[in-house]
Amino acid sequence: MAATAFNGSIGALQSRGYVGNSALYQECGNSSLRLTSKGFQFDLGLSGKERHFSRKRGFCLIQASSSQTTVSNQVSTPLNNTKVDSPKKSSEAALILIRHGESLWNEKNLFTGCVDVPLTKKGVEEAVEAGKRISNIPVDMIYTSALIRAQMTAMLAMTQHRRKKVPIVLHNESEQAKSWSRVFSEETERQCIPVVTAWQLNERMYGELQGLNKQETADKYGKEQVHEWRRSYDIPPPNGESLEMCAERAVAYFKQQIEPQLQAGKNVMIAAHGNSLRSIIMYLDKLTSQEVISLELATGIPMLYIVKEEKYIRRGSPAAPSEASVYAYTKNLARYRQKLDEMIH
Ligand SMILES: O=C(O)[C@@H](CO)OP(=O)(O)O
């Protein structure tokens, strides 16, 4: 793990969220302190009180925490020898994926596919909870499927966002719809998050299984056959889409419409479905058709990726809004967190 120079105090690191509940401080030389926290390492120049603190304790472990961290050692440091405060253009971006909360047909254990079923009360609560987990992560654009359960999830999640920008569904289906939904204030537009709805992100079309009970179908056709229909890569359910067919539209849409936004540094949230997201994750994580069989997504759990130099770095699910380590992933996120804190306090 490479250490990096940081021009600031320990307090500054703490307030930016790089140092959380547990950190290993180690003196290295007269005036510097090496700090290891959340899989990151920083060399701190010390002055006065801080030098005294480190001398006194030498090598110490600060109070351990119960909060889990999703940082992995893949990323050595977010700072790259740059001051956190100095703004620098970067094409790093955050990508949040959320499978919709529980729907009324999830609850009844029915194959849903492209049938447009709303959320249950539990699904609403899951979406709100998901929103809390990502409430500190910047969102510039939202993509949802054309189905109400994904749209409800996105909107409910955004009610929890600290930045309080207003998600606005774009209506580009006709020239009239476009012109009738125009906003005439640039300032108001800046306070909005465009929401693009796309059928290509819809759940995989389940064909003649739509509306059938999953357990009864397994009893009738056998557990293995039903598992093949539900999870295999290239075997479609009767008259429906296989995951491969679903990927042909969902991943193509992701590459054509969403990837360019990420490459331009926009932070994107996608609210979609078990199988359309499985196909996108297969692309992001370069999973094989064998590996994707065991990929299962829970309802209402946000997953974070950092997009850096055209690579997707999976960061798992932020455990809580106070999950400080999320902001150590990129300089932009660190700056955003700092600004947000300044705005709110
Ligand atoms: O019924 C569906 O549309 C999907 C998602 O709920 O089910 P499965 O998990 O079987 O792919």
Kindly state the average pLDDT of the residues 245-274.
98
Least confident of 18-22, 79-83, 133-137: 79-83
Q: Over the chain, what is the mean pLDDT?
A: 79
In a domain, 337, yes or no: no
Chosen domain end from 54, 81, 108: 81
Catalytic site includes residue 203: yes
* Active-site hit among 92, 100, 161, 323: 100
Same domain assignment for residues 281 and 305? yes
Q: Is residue 206 part of a domain?
A: yes
Count: domains in the chain:
2
Give distance in angstroms: CA of 127 to centre of ligand 1. 18
pTM equals 0.72
- Residue nearest to ligand 1 atom 10, measured at CA: 230
Query: Has 125 been annotated as catalytic?
Result: no
**Residue at a domain's end among 23, 56, 81:** 81
Which of 81, 107, 124 corresponds to the end of one domain? 81
Same domain? For 118 and 77 the reply is no
* Residue 94 pLDDT class (50, 70, 90 cuts): very high
Q: State the distance from the centre of ligand 1 to the C-alpha of 222, rounded, in angstroms.
A: 17
> Looking at residues 278-301, what average pLDDT do you find?
95
Q: What amino acid is encoded at 6 in this protein?
A: F
My answer on whether 49 and 131 are in the same domain is: no
How far apart are alpha carbons 316 and 55 in whole angstroms? Answer: 37
- Ligand 1 pocket at CB < 6 A: 106, 111-113, 203, 206, 230, 274-275
Whole-angstrom Cα distance, residue 81 to residue 88?
A: 12
Q: Are residues 166 and 272 in the same domain?
A: yes
Residues 125 and 204 in one domain: yes
How much distance in Å is there from the Cα of 166 to the middle of ligand 1?
A: 30
Structural domain boundaries, residue 281: 93-314
pLDDT band of 318, cuts 50, 70, 90: confident
